[in-house]
Amino acid sequence: MEKKDLDWANLSFSYMPTDYSYVCNWKDGAWEEGGLTADHSVTLSECAGILHYCQECFEGLKAYTTEDGRITCFRPDLNAERMYNTAERLCMPPFPKEKFVEAVKQVVKANEAWVPPFGSGATLYIRPLMFATGIVIGVKPADEYQFRILVTPVGPYYKGGAVPISICVSEYDRAAPRGTGNIKAGLNYAMSLQANVEAHRNGFSENLYLDSQSRTYVEEAGGANIIFVNREGTLVVPQSHTDSILPSITRRSLVVVARDILGMKVDERPVKFSEVENGDFVEAGLCGTAAVISPVGRITKGDEVIEISGMEAAGPVMTKLRETLTGIQAGEIEGPEGWVVTID
């Protein structure tokens, strides 16, 4: 199929309506068959549960055009699993995992003309979401829900792509201990908006959050996990004492890439911010579906400015990790079995 006539190389990370979305409703205790729709609008009662008690969750993954013309997705089974777990935590009916993957395939296939061409630097972003549509006035779970998938072609999440960014340590907390930090719920992101606006106003690309219990351990950024490289070349991946870090699919994939493909040592453990302040790390990067890896050149905490790898260029390890993972996603490098799913 012929691709849409777009300036693929200069797309921003923003919404552009495509031909079809996918929609499926949960009613009377069961999910309906579901299918494609050309209607990108949603009609709700003013008393819908999503509007009052924030029963909503979402996912994010991408579709790619490979050099040989195939359209692929990256590890959609893990998105299905994470959304299933998130729905359970929010007392929502989990969307079946196999049905999730098939829905992704169906909506990407229907919008294949919108999947950016190989080498353009753009991708088709896939956003599955679920929310309470049933009427509810008392504090309780709703009895009806809608699952949707929208797709839109996008460019880099952070301006500049792989150019180092500057981030700041937020004065706000992202998630409470034993709260909802480890699920992908919209309510987590709503709480980060003010911090995000303030960071941008002050010239930073993103916030870095510390643990809310002691404010001494690194957790993650507002829209991505963070990873480090120490002076010995070890990939250091922050873990949480209170299970409040989102289990990023990109981060988990990068751990496998580093350890099993690049032969690096990987250390997954709680990371004290004092290690950052002491200069223990020579590289850092924000990683997630949208960003892949955005190298972090500088971290600011109040009046303290900590140079990591500088603002000139990405460090060699982050560069190699990014090139390897995007090579697997684009079909240029053979990755572990099952990571790349072809859309037939």
| Residues taking part in catalysis | 184
Pairing of strands 35-37, 21-27: antiparallel
* CB environment 201-238: b (16+ within 10 A), e (fewer): eeebbbbbbbbbeeeebbbbbbbbbbbbbbeeebbbbb
Q: What is the 3-state secondary structure (H, E, C) of 36-102?
A: EECCCCCCCCCCEHHHHHCCEEECCEEEEECCCCCEEEECHHHHHHHHHHHHHHCCCCCCCHHHHHH
Rounded Cα gap, residues 152 and 287, in angstroms: 20
Task: Provide the token pair at 198.
Answer: 């303030």
Q: Which DSSP state fits 213?
A: T
Which pair of structure tokens corresponds to residue 166? 């500057």
The closest of 184, 188, 258 to 227, measured between CA atoms, is 258
Tell me the two tokens of residue 252: 């988990």
CB 340 within 8 A of CB 74: yes
